[in-house]
Structure 1
Amino acid sequence: MYVVESKGGAIACMFLALLCLGTWPAIMTLLERRGRLPQHTYLDYSITNLLAAVIIALTFGQIGDSKPDMPNFLTQLAQDNWPCVLFAMTGGFFLSLGNLSTQYAWAFVGLSVTEVVTSSITVVIGTSLNYFLDDRINNAKILFPGVGCFLIAVCLGSAVHYSNAVDNEAKLSALPDSYNDALGDKEKTGSNDAFPNKKDLESVSDHQEKAKVGTAGFLIQLENKRAIKVFGKSTLIGLGLTFFAGFCFSLFSPAFNLATNDQWNTMKDGVPHLVVYTAFFYFSVSCFVIAVILNIGFLFHPILNLPKSSFKAYLADWQGRQWALLAGLLCGFGNGLQFMGGQAAGYAAADAVQALPLVSTFWGVLLFGEYRKSSRRTYVLLVSMLMMFIVAVGVLMASSGHRKT
């Protein structure tokens, strides 16, 4: 079994995890904006997310000979280690709920703000829990000021979302009255199109066939193509989903920490702790089961006024499937690398991968034109949020310790 032991190796794992975990949300957002149902996307994502855990377990978890105190993956599957297995599966349960919530939050709040707020909440709660679970191997004088910076980033992220929502309302209110009437009809009828009347839509297209990013025309064209319709819905829905996801994310890493280090002494005497690869396997199995159960339910009983689907329709939907499968692989390998680094340098420091919004924001601005043509107030808040986030991540990584073997 391959074990990351050095602080440098742990940081390398965190950096690679950061790239993976910051990119897969952009892929999922792109598919939703192209009209693919989120239920279909998440089912595809879940398959390869589990596949990544199996690949990691059968490669890194099987390298070299098995040792009594550190058995290989396959050897440990037969051992009586169910108390810690349940901790790992609990972590997978929370991660699956968090990822599922963010899939809907991205549509309402935007990729950048959603990732910053959820990651900051994860650090504020999860990192504090991991610090005490890890026997305080991280430098508290550095760690907790960093946690405070993340808390400030949460507040700034909420302010950015509110300011951007006001900007978008101003853009839409500047449209001719006929367009605003169409939007009002959409809100009353619950239609899936911002302009259910074809003539209204054609009129917009005539003038803004290739609407510039950030304009009212762009917002309307996006609304008509995307799977999750957001016009007419309260902005509190997006923030509520975001904060719920952040709470779920804050619990999965401490649960995984308990699974691999058994700080509460739940294992029988003589039974070795779960190695990170075995714990990650059970963690991912739990993620997969929860995702499949919930999303098959959402096929027939969708939320947020999404259209109904079926399992047959899901199997026949190949539009963008390869991207959803890629997103699952990136997320799976990203989580695995985060846990490998956390086992070496402490899970509190490994939460530095929550810098993933810096990657997601890059994709959000580059691919989706987020915050284009927004007000100066929004830009100031956005830059302030990202700067505070960068400071917080740097402080968190500086708090890295080294786990005693």
Structure 2
Amino acid sequence: MPLTLHLLALAVFAQGTSEFMLSGLIPDIAHDLNVSVPAAGTLTSAFAAGMIVGAPAMAVLALRRSRRATLLGFLTVFLLAHVTAALTTSYAVLLATRVVAALANAGFLAVALATAASLVAPDAKGRATSVLLGGTTLACVAGVPGGALLGQFLGWRAAFWAVAALCLPALVAVARTVPAGRPADGAHGNVRDELRALRRPRLLVVLALGALVNAATFCTFTYLATVATEVTGVARPWIPVLLALFGLGSFAGVTAAGRWSDARPLPVLAGGGAALCAGWALFAYAAVSVPATLVLTFVQGALSFAVGSTLIARALYAASGAPLLAGACATAALNIGAALGPWTGGLAIDGGPGARAVPAVSAALVALALVTGAAADRQRLRAAMSP
């Protein structure tokens, strides 16, 4: 894999740390800003909403611009949003900075996915995607637990300062290594041409599955600290360890998917999806057990990211004529799930069942994805067999 791809993953690491670190900071943010835990969880949904809107919008703006300048611009806005977040005492301002940061993150990731695909052979998009998303999983391993530790010892604002600092070496790396060509190199660089390439039922199904699987992931991950402390009985100082376990699992999953998703995507999606559904259901049952929670946190992280990264690669393959907007649509779909997940988890907490029901909601979302995928496959077979 090209060195540029690994350096892009450095920037994704900083952005992934920001996106996921709230899982360990939500209780402290809620207490400091005098809001409820579900309201603090809405900060994750706000970030996801910004990603949903920002991915296609920012991709269109970047379609005819220098990829290096575009990436640097998005990363600079992302940095400034975190400086503002670290300084504010207002929940409303913090919420706004999450949206702005998400818009910048969405644009960066859309361009980075297109750039990654253009740097490798046509049949290696899955491997390229796994390297790029490796920055996100490493954020779960190191960045998120590190943010939680900073939150415990220095306050939650220190985690936002740390993300801003992480952006600085990423800015230097992008400026020095990313080619200056347009992000749509290899395509026509025309919005209409790319939109035409997106009108494929197969792509729409893949995007819907990505949204559902990611909703399941974020449903439990957003409230993992709450589940661990209120249901499992894990002491707060051990929350960073639990988050690191999820990150280690996600890194293992995305690495495995990078090896298999190009040549054998169906076993990863069907087998991994079924195991993911069963794992979330088991988590809901066994969350009172500390050993079970530790094991399932690692396993579910691995399965979630193996299936999710494979779906992103399938989207890039399904819309090869729209390299930039395909990445943008995949980003938007995943973040529709990232917005839906915390909302459904919050309903479970506020609606009566409590935190223990959160993994059960994740299981239901993956089950819906499996049913949707099976129905789409049957429809495709019927269409192929009809005269």
TM-score (norm 2): 0.37
Of structures 1 and 2, the larger Rg is shown by: 1
TM-score (norm 1): 0.36
Name the one with the larger helix percent: 2
